[in-house]
Chains A and B, each alone.
Chain A
Amino acid sequence: MSVATAGPRPGHHAAARSGGSTLTGTGTMIRFVLRRDRVRLPIWIGAIVLSVVGSLPAFPETYPTAADRQARAALLDNPATVALTGPAYGTDDYTFGAMTANELLGFVAIAVALMSVLLMVRHTRAEEETGRTELLRAGVLGRHAPTTAAFVVVAGANLLIGLLLAVLMPATLAELSASSSLLFGAAVASVGLVFTGVGALAAQVTEHARAATGIGAAAVGVAFALRAIGDVGNAALSWMSPIGWAQRTRVYVDDRWWPLLLAVGLTVVLVALAFATTSRRDVGAGLVPPRPGSPRGRAGLSTPFGLALRLQRGGLIGWGVGLVVFGLAYGSLASSIEEFVSDNSTLQDMLGDSGTLIDGFMAIVVLMMALLAAAYGLTAVLRLRSEETSGRGEPVLATAVSRVRFAGSHLAVAVGGSLLLMLAGGLSLALTASLALDDASVFGTLLGAAVAHLPGIWLVIAVAVALVGLAPQLVHLSWVVLTYGVVVGVLGGFFQFPGWVTKISPFQAASPLPGGDLGTVAVVIMVVLAVALFGIGLLGFRRRDMTTT
């Protein structure tokens, strides 16, 4: 071996030159990303595929006859439902295929979009922020290798989801043709691909993984809102949304492939931009250079609560803006629904007046706000855990701050923050809807409906707090409770689950509002349960070891 290093070997320099590509080491990085996510990836892929495939057997059970399906189609073809799910097509002959596309595609698209953003940022900016990328890049690793490897894996996950759907859907429900199912899978994967590109680009813009995820999630929200407003009114807006493109394949009815070309084109552009940015910036840096801050801590930064608030301020503002925009967008649709009902005499006979349809629509909008506010609350509680594991909590707990005060501060931000979010979203929805309908009474009922969801939101937060105190390693299980609320609340109308399945969702008691009755007993039970779980969690946090793993 010493001979080989004694002098220059022929070909040695050539090897160094050919190995100087910015993609060197991508293969190793791909294996590394797969190794890190060997549990996470199968869970995402499995959950998304199963949620679609597992839904299919319910179609013939819930809607056995053509008449049943047409009744469902009649319910679907109105601005309220269109705004929530997507453009209603194929409603003249509402086959199981049309049903699959109309009822499921919009939600699966959001799921793959979020998965793609989260995974991309996790493997690019999050790694860079911790400094681990620096360690790798100091080795024989090309500049673009980390981003490329992450893209290959996440894009691959999306394609695999598409492929599994294409194979499993016709196998589960014979009425779904293989060729249309292939398009359905491709449409789902196309949305995932675009948001993989969005994640890659968002990771370039900011130094913080949290902020990059926020940008990506906001892009998902914008895509959904564009589609919603576009589908109800000006269709041009829907053509600006990747989710809109997937739905405009009119899969299972017209099977158009070409809208997916837009998604492929946008993905190429996004990835090219991400590459170009990587070539221009320093490792660890974002596009926005860091500025010096205050050399002194303000008076507010004197308590654990001040610290918790400061740490979560940015996130809370981001979520707040998102909910306000959401409220504005959906509140303004109220007049479209009203016009639709007054123009449609059969529907008017069926419903009496436009009130029922608008109430039902608003109930779902408020429920979605509540689910979003609960998601914020969970991230706020999880912040307590990440402060502990990162070791940043240790110097704070080594001062005259008790465990309960430390944990309670983050808890207060979670509870108070979700209250603020519901008030902000509720106000914006109530204001725009009451203006659109020219009916002041709507304002109070909508704001009341938003507030009525708080006990349910707090119960979800309380589950997370209890886990932080008693079983900190399992704290991410609290997302299961929220996911349950999403499935039951958003898809329950379609699947008509057994009564008890819906009743145990923390979001059920307030979901009849506005228009229906609040489940008062359930609200009381939830408040008591939430307070008990808060207590258990804080007590557990006081009694256990602080861990960094």
Chain B
Amino acid sequence: MTTAIDVAGVVKTFGPVRALDGLDLKVSTGEVHGFLGPNGAGKSTTIRVLLGLLRADSGTARLLGGDPWNDAVALHRRLAYVPGDVNLWPNLTGGEAIDLLGRLRGGLDEKRRQELLERFDLDPAKKGRTYSKGNRQKVALVAALASDVELLILDEPTSGLDPLMEAVFNEVIDEWKDDGKTVLLSSHILTEVEKLCDRVSIIRAGTIVEAGTLSELRHLTRTAIAAETEQPATGLERLPGIHDLDAEGRRVRFSVDTAQLDGAMKHLTQFGIQTLTSQPPTLEELFMRHYGDELAAEEAVAEAGASS
């Protein structure tokens, strides 16, 4: 499998701020890659380095086999980009903006342009300033999706879309995937990433903290179990990988590392399971574990610092 995006050890600083701190990111050709992280983690900075809008301080970045900074124009013919915060020209209509951006990239597929306008239910005759946030995003999406390119770079493309339009977006991206095209999808909407993506990279404070396929990542997550047993279940606390144990009479609740699920179940059956609910591991849970605890700790430190 060839690599569409290959970033290794990229550092980008803005004054004293290290926005990217040795970032590694690999996206194979033909995959839909989820790029996850909270606000300010460095997702947009990474994308802007990949687009040659920012120059990395150190490290290497390769995009479609070229150098994003030096070969920007040639590479940009082969990719389309949707910014997270779409800002249109106030006195240009949406249709004009779509045509302009498409032509600057090297041409639009007319049939596809029309089809996308209908699917996204977008009126191209309105002026840029009269569009809502979601409609501005649709303008950028139609401009990008109506071009014949190998790679789509999408920066939180659905943050302004309603659920109906999100469904349309998901369909369109699935079609792209079927055509064997590559997508880098930056997002903090985890269900969207779970639905669309083959592989995921999670960024935090300018570095990738987890990367892998969804099933690989699920291994890192915990399954939440709630059970009622014939006899009170004991000894769970001695098992590896059990967290947040809460036993009350014959009811027991705990979460278990996915890798240790089998052992926990075998242990439970000894007590005679009467009811059992399990909550499958979600990306959200993984995400929260990577950010929630640490962020809470950081906030506590910051607060302590501010109050002293």
A residues sitting closer than 8 Å to B (CB atoms) are 129, 207-208, 290, 292-298, 301-304, 306-307, 310-311, 314, 390-392, 394-403, 543-546
Contact = CB atoms under 8 A, between A and B. Distances in A.
A403 B52 CA distance: 10
B297 interface: no
Given A297-B100, A395-B81, A395-B140, A546 B76 contact: no
Given A402-B72, A545-B55, A302 B103 contact: yes
A303 B101 CA distance: 9
Contacts of A311: 89, 91
A292 B96 CA distance: 12
Contacts of B55: 543-545
Interface string B233-252: 00000000000000000000
A193 B248 CA distance: 77
B88 to A, nearest CB: 7
B81 A545 contact: no
Contacts of B105: 399-400
B53 A546 contact: yes
Nearest to B47: A398
Nearest to B95: A295
A302 B87 contact: no
Residue among B103, B127, B153 facing the most chain A CB atoms (10 A cut-off): B103
Q: Which 3 A-B pairs have the closest CB atoms?
A: A297-B99, A295-B95, A399-B104
Main secondary structure of the interface of B (DSSP, over half): mixed
A292 B94 CA distance: 10
Given A301-B99, A392-B89, A292 B126 contact: yes
A408 to B, nearest CB: 13
17 contacts: A292-B123, A293-B95, A293-B125, A293-B126, A301-B99, A301-B100, A304-B104, A390-B87, A395-B101, A397-B51, A400-B73, A400-B104, A401-B73, A401-B76, A401-B104, A543-B55, A544-B55
B89 to A, nearest CB: 6
Contacts of A301: 92, 96, 99-100, 103
Interface in B51-90: 51-55, 72-74, 76-77, 79-81, 83, 85-90
Nearest to B94: A295
Nearest to B98: A297
Contacts of B280: none
Q: Is the interface of A mostly helix, strand, loop or mixed?
A: loop
B53 A294 contact: no
Interface of B: 48, 51-55, 72-74, 76-77, 79-81, 83, 85-101, 103-106, 123-127, 129-130, 140, 143, 153
B89 A294 contact: no
Nearest to A284: B129
B92 A310 contact: yes
Nearest to B74: A400
B104 A292 contact: no
Nearest to B75: A400
A293 B81 contact: no
Contacts of B80: 398
A399 B76 CA distance: 5
B76 A307 contact: no
Nearest to A307: B100
Most chain B CB inside 10 Å of its own CB: which residue of A293, A302, A398: A398
Given A294-B95, A297-B95, A301-B100, 20 more contacts: A290-B129, A293-B95, A294-B96, A295-B124, A297-B92, A297-B100, A302-B99, A302-B103, A302-B104, A303-B103, A307-B100, A314-B91, A392-B88, A394-B53, A394-B83, A397-B52, A397-B53, A398-B79, A399-B76, A399-B105
A292 B83 contact: no
B218 to A, nearest CB: 34
B129 to A, nearest CB: 7
Contacts of B106: 399-400
Given A293-B96, A391-B87, A546-B54, A303 B104 contact: yes
A545 B45 CA distance: 11
* Best-surrounded residue of A297, A390, A392 (most CB of chain B within 10 A): A297
B99 A296 contact: yes
A316 B93 CA distance: 20
Contact of A208 (B90, B94, B103, B124): B90
Contacts of A396: 100-101, 104
A207 B85 CA distance: 22
A392 B85 CA distance: 10
Nearest to A314: B91
A545 B54 contact: yes
A307 B103 CA distance: 11
B52 to A, nearest CB: 8
A479 to B, nearest CB: 24
Given A292-B93, A397-B53, A297 B103 contact: yes
Contacts of B81: 395, 398
Contacts of A207: 129
Contacts of B95: 293-297
